């Protein structure tokens, strides 16, 4: 009865599609135009990916920090080796570059060698005044030498802020206005005004200026993501359509497939715009992903149509059978693929949740587009000629299928031994996998801005901000002598950590004031005594905007102090040890019973987010396995079939995990997608094979061996076709300049290849070995949905 109802349903669907071709085409055109108009709502991310849930304690602490001190990532730095500025003319030009940048409305202030504030006592010695270290342009190289001598030897306050004494690097600090840092204004300013100005200056004076800082890194990284979308789309389209043409040798079939997936891509962009989601490093993968997944749909539908034409030549009957028979099977396989992506919806990460929602919707959409467009277009075209059907008689594919049958028939023991050995070796590799919480590891290493990051890391000991907030629990508590000493002690500990840069805080300002009090003698660059502080108290009040940079290190109440340091890019294990050491020292200096402290910052947020996602990896993959297992149990009405179907699909995941361990590919936000995606796609082959196997059992009166070999011969070709398309389709991601995207493409491709071999060799072997326990009328009942009719995925009938 179920089979009859399903047949009637899909037969009704086929009649509806073919009898209402114009209406359906009109609806598709209207929907496509509507979604195309939604493109204007597509947003491009202007912030780092927030991997943590909004209500996560780490996120809440970071937001509390931003509310109190404002956006931390508003600093852009320009630098170059001191030796590049050999003449006073070049040095004057360098200073004028800073002045030009300060004229932009998007810039809050600029700190450069041309406007360094210098604290001095007034002539009557009753107050401090702020003058500029360099009050006018230099007029000789002798003056340049004198200025550099003063900077390097008399102004320790500016070490690691304006100059690196170790590497003799000079830099200019450009502080953007905090309210534009996370907006499109920041991108427009950096790309359209800031970078052209710096490039013009570099070319004019033949200087290799290095640029870095979070706003700059984020802008160029986001631009590269957007630029790569077109490359991905073109590469995925060319490669998958090229393979399609190689298989079918038909320009017409290839063109129809291209049109189908292009519409799917237009819908993908439209859905992103309609939902108001941002283009991130993950959502940017969805359009090419739709091409990769859409082409196999076209292969199944067009292959079936041509098979039907070859058998009886009746076009109307052929198109109806395409929809009634292949449409049902393709729906089921697309649903399992979509479910692999949909598991990300259940994570609390906004980044992954949005990716899961859009990807799963788009996969179901490309199925509907394929099912509607391909039969309708072919209904308007003449019947394919004999030359269009030549691919159905390819001998080399038959040879591949014969090889798999021979392996299953004669070398089952070898297949099992090989599987067990590979499993054991892979499990050893799994334990060698490392976790990466690096913010810059996946960035394009060949581009200049990544090289500039490494330049500043070497010269200034880091570029990724790490923030420490101390709540003294009383107003004006920061200015208390004991608290300044505690802050200083913590800074000394930070200086002893090689991966952290010289910190910035109000302590540096107070030390600078004492040095000025003693006539600029660097021996007195230290915290003042209580008596000395009485004379220096007016300094911070009278300084005004000249040292506005330091005003953001104490809140308006004087209760909260902020210490900013910068981290080098480091491995997650080392970063964890640095964090643990730092937290222990903070608690030791600022006892929790007397002070409240927060350790936060973008680098730490990203590392915590990575660990959070890894913990959710088990959840999302587990959900995918459970969901698909229940789906198989429901379809085949057999719990034992769950075991048989999951083994050949879990083994490739373990193999891939082992390869990651041996090859040193770390678990990170990009690579943790591999397992759920690959599992959701690879299980499609299992469903095809088991559905055909059950049909063969009924047709062959439960003769198991004949049914297994028959199913292998019938489905082997389609498995090979789709696996090759998917393998090369996902391989297009390896052209990316982002390391994570490359790893994702390579790992998914490899996993799908392993899955194809497992489904063609291990799955039929298990069915033969366990034949008496699973292949009988009691344990393998009629499926809830008759997925594939007898001739559905055959090469010939």
Establish if 734 belongs to a structural domain.
Answer: yes
pLDDT of res. 90: 87
Question: Is there a domain that residue 512 lies in?
Answer: no
High-pLDDT (> 90) share of the chain, %: 10
pLDDT interval class at 323 (50, 70, 90): confident
User: What's the pLDDT band for 584 if we cut at 50, 70, 90?
Assistant: very high
**Torsion, CA 55, CA 61, CA 64, CA 65, rounded to 10:** -140
How many folded domains does the chain comprise? 1
Q: Do the beta carbons of residue 465 and residue 695 sit within 8 Å?
A: no
- In this prediction, residue 128 carries a pLDDT of 67
pLDDT band at 771 (very low <50, low <70, confident <90, very high): low
**pLDDT reported for residue 793:** 35
776 confidence band (pLDDT: 50, 70, 90): low
Task: Kindly indicate the confidence band of residue 271, based on its pLDDT and cuts at 50, 70 and 90.
Answer: very high
CA distance 231 to 244: 20
SS3 40: helix
Radius of gyration of the chain (CA): 33
Q: What pLDDT sits at residue 788?
A: 45
- What mean pLDDT comes out for the span 168-176? 86
Q: 250: which 2 tokens?
A: 């038909």
Helices within 313-447 (DSSP H only): 315-321, 327-342, 350-380, 395-410, 412-430
**Range of lowest pLDDT (38-52, 71-85, 368-382, 750-764):** 38-52
Task: Please state the rounded mean pLDDT for residues 654-674.
Answer: 82
Q: Give the single-character DSSP code of 504.
A: B
The shares of helix, strand and coil residues in the chain, as percent rounded to the nearest 5, are 70, 10, 25
Highest mean pLDDT among 168-172, 309-313, 769-773: 168-172
Q: Which residue has the tokens 């973008």?
A: 602
| Pick from 31, 45, 35: nearest CA to 277 | 45
d(CA 297, CA 376): 15
Query: Parallel, antiparallel, or unpaired for β 560-567 and 464-471?
Result: antiparallel
Q: How do beta strands 278-279 and 107-111 pair?
A: unpaired
* C-alpha pair distances (Å), 109 with each of 67, 103, 177: 21, 9, 8
Question: What are the pLDDT digits (tens) for 639-648?
Answer: 777 778 888 8
What's the rounded Cα separation, in Å, for the pair 601 and 351? Answer: 19
Structure letter (DSSP) for residue 554: B
Q: What is d(CA 188, CA 169) in angstroms, rounded to the nearest whole number? A: 29
Q: Is the pLDDT of residue 237 over 70?
A: yes
Tokens of 271: 């859905």
Terminal-residue alpha carbon distance, the chain: 27
The helix-helix angle for 286-312 and 251-275 (nearest 10°) equals 140
Backbone torsion region of residue 748, taken as left when φ is above 0, otherwise alpha when ψ lies between -120 and 50, otherwise beta = alpha
| Residues 189 and 180 sit within 8 Å (Cβ to Cβ) | yes
pLDDT at residue 65, as a whole number? 85
The answer to whether residues 602 and 565 touch, using CB atoms and an 8 Å cutoff, is no
Structure tokens at 370: 């394929």
Expressed as residue numbers, the domain containing 425 is: 2-48+220-431+606-774
CA distances from 537 to 326, 487, 534 (A): 82, 18, 6
* Rounded mean pLDDT, 727-756: 83
With a pLDDT cut of 70, the percent of the chain lying above it is: 87
Least reliable range by pLDDT among 162-171, 474-483, 589-598: 162-171
- Distance, in Å, from the CA atom of 19 to the CA atom of 11, rounded to the nearest integer, reads 12
Coil vs helix vs strand at 264: helix
Beta carbons of 435 and 666 less than 8 angstroms apart: yes
User: What pLDDT is recorded for position 445?
Assistant: 73
User: Does residue 510 lie within any of the structural domains?
Assistant: no
The answer to the question of residue 536 being in a domain is: no
Question: Is the pLDDT confidence value at 795 over 50?
Answer: no
Burial class (CB in 10 A: 0-12, 13-18, 19+), 185: middle
Q: What is the DSSP letter of 431?
A: T
Residue 353 lies in a domain: yes
Contact criterion met (CB below 8 Å) for 788 and 390 = no
Mean confidence (pLDDT) of the chain? 80
Residue 792 has pLDDT above 70, yes or no: no
- CA angle in degrees (0–180, nearest 5) for 657-662-667: 50
Closest by Cα among 236, 212, 374, 261 to 308:
374
Q: What is the pLDDT of residue 366?
A: 92
What is the average pLDDT across 505-527?
Answer: 84
Q: Which helix (H) or strand (E) holds 169?
A: strand 169-176
Are the C-beta atoms of 128 and 518 separated by less than 8 Å?
no
- d(Cα 508, Cα 491) in Å, to the nearest integer? 10
Mean pLDDT computed over 300-322: 80
CATH code for the domain in which residue 267 is found: 1.20.1640.10
At 43-65, the pLDDT tens digits run: 766 566 667 777 788 888 888 88
pLDDT-derived band of residue 545, with 50, 70 and 90 as boundaries?
very low
Question: Which residues does residue 81 pair with via DSSP β-bridges, in sequence order?
Answer: 169
Tell me the pLDDT band of 267, cut-offs 50, 70 and 90: very high
Distance CA 12, CA 484 (A): 80
The residue whose two tokens read 């379809």 is: 635
* Of 593 and 479, more confident: 593
Is 62 part of a structural domain of the chain? no
pLDDT at position 388 is 58
Asked if residue 568 is part of any domain, the answer here is no
The residues near 50 (Cβ < 8 Å, ≥ 6 apart) are 59, 349, 350, 351, 605, 609
Q: Are 256 and 374 in contact (CB under 8 A)?
A: yes
Q: What does the DSSP assignment read for 571-616?
A: -HHHHHHHHHHHHHHHHHHS-TTT-EEEEE-HHHHHHHHHHHHHHH
Highest averaged pLDDT of the listed ranges 174-183, 363-372, 507-516: 363-372
Are 114 and 101 a contacting pair, CB within 8 Å?
Answer: no
Instruction: Please give the pLDDT value at position 797.
Output: 33
pLDDT of residue 369: 93
CA-wise closest residue to 110 among 128, 120, 96, 124 = 96
- 89 in a structural domain: no
- The closest alpha carbon to 182, from 52, 105, 73, belongs to 73
CA distance 788 to 779: 20
What band does 421 get if pLDDT is binned at 50, 70 and 90?
A: very high
Is the pLDDT assigned to residue 424 strictly greater than 90? yes
Whole-angstrom distance, CA of residue 665 vs CA of residue 672: 11
Report, as an integer, the average pLDDT of 344-363.
84
Answer whether residue 778 shows pLDDT above 60.
no
């Amino acid at each position: 009865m179920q089979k009859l109802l399903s047949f009637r349903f899909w037969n009704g669907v086929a009649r509806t599609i073919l009898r209402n071709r114009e209406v359906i085409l009109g609806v598709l055109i209207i929907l496509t135009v509507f979604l195309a108009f939604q493109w204007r709502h597509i947003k491009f991310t202007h912030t780092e990916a927030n991997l943590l849930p909004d209500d996560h304690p780490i996120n809440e602490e970071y937001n509390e920090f931003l509310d109190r001190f404002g956006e931390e990532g508003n600093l852009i730095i320009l630098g170059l080796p001191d030796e590049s500025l050999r003449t006073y003319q070049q040095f004057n030009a360098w200073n004028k570059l800073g002045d030009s940048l300060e004229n932009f409305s998007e810039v809050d202030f600029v700190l450069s060698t041309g406007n360094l504030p210098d604290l001095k006592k007034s002539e009557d010695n009753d107050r401090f005044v702020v003058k500029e270290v360099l009050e006018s342009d230099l007029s000789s190289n002798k003056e340049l030498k004198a200025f550099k001598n003063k900077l390097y030897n008399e102004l320790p306050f500016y070490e690691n802020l304006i100059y690196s004494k170790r590497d003799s690097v000079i830099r200019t600090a450009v502080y953007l206005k905090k309210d534009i840092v996370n907006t499109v204004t920041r991108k427009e300013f950096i790309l359209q005004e800031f970078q052209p100005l710096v490039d013009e200056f570099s070319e004019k004076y033949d200087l290799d200026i290095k640029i870095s800082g979070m706003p700059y890194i984020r802008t160029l990284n986001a631009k590269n993501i957007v630029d790569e979308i077109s490359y991905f789309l073109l590469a995925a389209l060319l490669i998958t359509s090229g393979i399609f043409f190689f298989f079918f040798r038909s320009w017409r079939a290839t063109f129809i497939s291209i049109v189908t997936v292009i519409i799917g891509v237009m819908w993908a962009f439209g859905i992103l715009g309609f939902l108001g989601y941002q283009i991130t490093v993950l959502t940017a993968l969805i359009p090419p992903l739709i091409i990769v997944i859409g082409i196999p749909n076209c292969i199944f539908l067009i292959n079936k149509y041509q098979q039907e034409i070859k058998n009886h030549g009746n076009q109307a009957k052929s198109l109806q059978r395409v929809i009634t028979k292949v449409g049902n099977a393709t729906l089921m396989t697309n649903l399992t693929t979509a479910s692999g992506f949909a598991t990300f919806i259940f994570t609390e990460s906004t980044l992954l949740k949005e990716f899961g929602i859009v990807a799963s919707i788009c996969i179901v959409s490309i199925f509907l587009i394929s099912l509607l467009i391909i039969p309708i277009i072919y209904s308007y075209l003449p019947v394919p000629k004999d030359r269009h059907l030549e691919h159905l008689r390819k001998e080399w594919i038959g040879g591949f299928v014969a090889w798999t049958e021979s392996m299953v028939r004669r070398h089952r023991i070898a297949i099992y031994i090989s599987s067990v050995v590979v499993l054991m070796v892979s499990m050893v590799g799994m334990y060698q996998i490392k976790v990466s919480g690096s913010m810059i590891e996946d960035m394009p290493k060949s581009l200049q801005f990544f090289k500039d990051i490494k330049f500043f890391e070497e010269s200034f000991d880091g570029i990724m901000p790490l923030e420490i907030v101390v709540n003294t629990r009383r107003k004006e508590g920061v200015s208390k002598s004991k608290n300044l000493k505690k802050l200083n002690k913590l800074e000394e500990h930070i200086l002893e950590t090689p991966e952290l840069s010289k910190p910035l805080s109000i302590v540096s300002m107070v030390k600078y004031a004492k040095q000025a009090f003693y006539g600029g003698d660097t021996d007195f660059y230290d915290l003042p005594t209580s008596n000395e502080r009485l004379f220096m108290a007016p300094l911070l009040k009278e300084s005004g905007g000249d040292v506005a940079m330091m005003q953001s290190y104490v809140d308006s109440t004087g209760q909260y102090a902020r210490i900013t340091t910068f981290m080098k890019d480091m491995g997650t294990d080392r970063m964890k040890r640095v964090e643990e050491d730092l937290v222990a020292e903070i608690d030791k200096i600022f006892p929790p019973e007397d002070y409240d402290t927060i350790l936060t910052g973008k680098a730490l947020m990203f590392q915590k987010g990575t660990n959070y996602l890894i913990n959710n990896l088990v959840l999302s993959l587990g959900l995918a396995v459970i969901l698909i297992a229940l789906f198989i149990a429901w379809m085949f009405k057999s719990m034992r079939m769950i075991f048989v179907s999951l083994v050949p699909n879990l083994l490739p995941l373990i193999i891939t995990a082992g390869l990651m361990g041996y090859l040193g590919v770390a678990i990170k936000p990009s690579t943790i997608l591999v397992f759920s995606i690959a599992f959701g796609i690879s299980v499609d082959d299992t469903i095809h094979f088991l559905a055909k196997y059950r049909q063969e059992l009924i047709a062959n009166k439960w003769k198991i061996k004949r049914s297994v070999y028959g199913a292998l011969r019938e489905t082997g070709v389609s498995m090979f076709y789709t696996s090759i398309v998917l393998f090369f389709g996902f391989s297009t991601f390896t052209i990316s300049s982002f390391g994570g995207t490359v790893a994702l493409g390579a790992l998914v491709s490899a996993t799908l290849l392993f899955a194809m071999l497992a489904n063609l060799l291990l799955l039929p072997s298990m069915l033969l070995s366990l034949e008496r326990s699973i292949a009988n009328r009691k344990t393998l009942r009629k499926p809830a949905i008759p997925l594939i009719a007898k001739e559905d995925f055959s090469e010939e009938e």
